[in-house]
Amino acid sequence: MTISHHPDVATLMSCAAGSQPESLAAVVASHISMCPQCAAEVQKLEQIGVALFDAIATAPVVREAPVVAARALEADEDGSGGRPAEPGDVPAPLVSLVGRSLDEIAWKWLGPGVWHYPIPLSRRAAGDLRLYKLAPGQAVPEHGHGGEELTLLLRGSYRDEMGEFRTGDVADLDDEVEHRPIADATAGCICLVAREKRARFKGLLARFVQLVTGI
Amino acid sequence: MLQVAASPPLERRAPTFATTRAMADLLHRVAASGDIEAFRKLFQSYAPRVKAYMMRQGADANTAEELAQETLLTVWRKASLYSGDKGSATTWIYTIARNLRVDRLRKETAWQPLPASVEEQASSDPAPDEQLAEAERRERVQSALRELPGDQSEVVVLSYIEGLSHSEIADRLGLPLGTVKSRMRLAYQKIREALEDLR
């Protein structure tokens, strides 16, 4: 798999800082599980946090060190070392939420040629995370964004104003950008989309769909 | 009009290489033999930083103290997962603190795992050389951070130390989102050379 569109370095920094909204963080984590280059980059960017933490003005601690049991050490691996995901499979971080296979998603019909599957976030998390499936040649209704939006291609491809996006590619967009992705004419596509806020769909029909589905 | 400068990113003198070596040694002793005295020394060294970090992230003093306790308890439990090629003891502890704060303060899923070994081949370097390389890299990064223009170090600190998302930084500073991301990218350009692992 050749990945040519990666998240913006500012996005990777926010990821390394642990400061992304949960929905956006999920997409970055999923991309990283498929992209060793970005995984290594985030590890490097964590060093910014380490350097700042290292030199932070300390706060005096009142309590003593906790009492620890001599042999209560975890021997098991934390399971974070992942192999890059195979094309078409669900990225490792999402497997516990949506299962292993993109072929087993319980899609919900959204409109002609468009299906979606909302992924639950933590109760206090704002924003939106969902999978979309587009039929071949299907366009997503034109929309702008409030805040940031991240799209990760999981299968097939789409083309928009920024170029062609294939499996593993990430579209990293902020609120100024309006784009109209069109799924590949043969294969269609499946993608993971995170938004900080609700998308603003344009046009009366699209707005009606938005009203009905709450996207 | 008097211009108030943004506070410098580094707030105190950073520990030396000798300290870096000592911390790694303590962590190894905890992992190898459940050395409680070593753990207490780690606690004394790191808990005040973790508490300060949690308070900057918005926790009150009491909660920050609890989270510092919990961070070090996690360090104790997971010590056997730590090895020199996963970075310094400070990297390890920072990452645990960062994930705990996402989980407890924001009550969200911490998607970023603890550091895994990125190199495919097992490192055969003895631990002291790894620690030296880590300490030197940290000094280079701290030096680069000190040299950042105020508007760039400001967004970096708000992101890493106060935990604000890009949109939150934009709201806090009254800037467009694009400007925030642009300043982060500029800061990165200045720091990137220092971030390289020269091993």
Q: Which helix (H) or strand (E) holds A152?
A: strand A149-160
Same domain, B83 and B155: no
Q: Name residue B59's amino acid.
A: A
* Domains assigned to chain A: 9-213 (2.60.120.10)
B57 within domain boundaries: yes
Q: What is the pLDDT of residues A108-158, one digit of tens each?
A: 998 899 999 999 998 888 889 999 999 999 987 666 556 889 999 999 999
Q: Tell me if B106 and A124 make a contact (CB, 8 A cut-off).
A: yes
Residues across chain B: 199
Helix (H/G/I), strand (E/B), else coil: A117 = strand
CATH number of the domain that residue B147 is part of: 1.10.10.10
Same domain, B185 and B137: yes
Residue of B109, B175, B182 to mutate, interface with A, max A Cβ within 10 Å: B109
CATH number of the domain that residue B83 is part of: 1.10.1740.10
Choose the final residue of a domain: B78, B107, B136. B107
Same domain, B88 and B140: no
On the 0-12 / 13-18 / 19+ scale of CB atoms within 10 A, B180 is buried
B96 within domain boundaries: yes
Q: Which domain holds residue B157?
A: 128-198
Of the candidates A16, A65, A75, the beta carbon closest to that of B72 is on A65
Q: Is the pLDDT of residue B19 over 90?
A: no
Same domain, B102 and B190: no
**Confidence at residue A201, expressed as pLDDT on a 0 to 100 scale:** 54
**CB-based contact A182:A137 (threshold 8 Å):** yes
Q: In B34-149, which residue ranges form alpha helices assigned H by DSSP?
A: 36-56, 61-78, 89-104, 127-146
B67 within domain boundaries: yes
Residues of B in contact with A14 (CB under 8 A): 159, 165-166, 184
Same domain, B52 and B93: yes
The tally of domains found in chain B comes to: 2
B1 within domain boundaries: no
B144 within domain boundaries: yes
Same domain, B25 and B75: yes
**Confidence at residue A168, expressed as pLDDT on a 0 to 100 scale:** 96
Same domain, B19 and B98: yes
Averaged pLDDT score across all residues of chain A? 85
Q: Tell me if B90 and A20 make a contact (CB, 8 A cut-off).
A: no
Of the candidates A36, A57, A70, the beta carbon closest to that of B12 is on A57
Tell whether B156 lies on the interface with A, counting CB pairs under 8 A.
Answer: yes
Same domain, B26 and B98: yes
ipTM of the complex: 0.90
Same domain, B103 and B137: no
B2 within domain boundaries: no
Q: What is the 3 state secondary structure string of A52-99?
A: HHHCCCCCCCCCCCCCCCCCCCCCCCCCCCCCCCCCCECCHHHHHHHC
Q: Tell me if B109 and A176 make a contact (CB, 8 A cut-off).
A: no
Question: What one-character DSSP code corresponds to residue B190?
Answer: H
**CB-based contact A98:B84 (threshold 8 Å):** no
CA-to-CA separations, B84 to A73, A206, B115, B198, in angstroms, rounded: 18, 54, 11, 15
Same domain, B100 and B133: no
B190 within domain boundaries: yes
B76 within domain boundaries: yes
Same domain, B21 and B80: yes
Which pTM value belongs to this model?
0.88
Same domain, B132 and B101: no
Helix (H/G/I), strand (E/B), else coil: B34 = coil
A-B interface: how many C-beta pairs under 8 angstroms?
228
Q: Tell me what percent of the residues of chain B surpass a pLDDT of 90.
A: 56
Averaged pLDDT score across all residues of chain B? 85
B37 against A206, higher pLDDT:
B37
**CB-based contact A182:A159 (threshold 8 Å):** yes
Comparing A17-31, B5-19, B20-34, B103-117, the range with the smallest average pLDDT is: B5-19
Distance of alpha carbon A178 from alpha carbon A160, whole angstroms: 10
Q: Tell me what percent of the residues of chain A surpass a pLDDT of 70.
A: 79
Q: Is the pLDDT of residue A35 over 60?
A: yes
On the 0-12 / 13-18 / 19+ scale of CB atoms within 10 A, A214 is exposed
B12 against A3, higher pLDDT:
A3
Q: What is the pLDDT of residues A158-207, one digit of tens each?
A: 998 889 999 999 999 876 677 788 999 999 999 999 998 755 555 566 66
Tell whether B18 lies on the interface with A, counting CB pairs under 8 A.
Answer: no
Residues of A in contact with B77 (CB under 8 A): 72-74
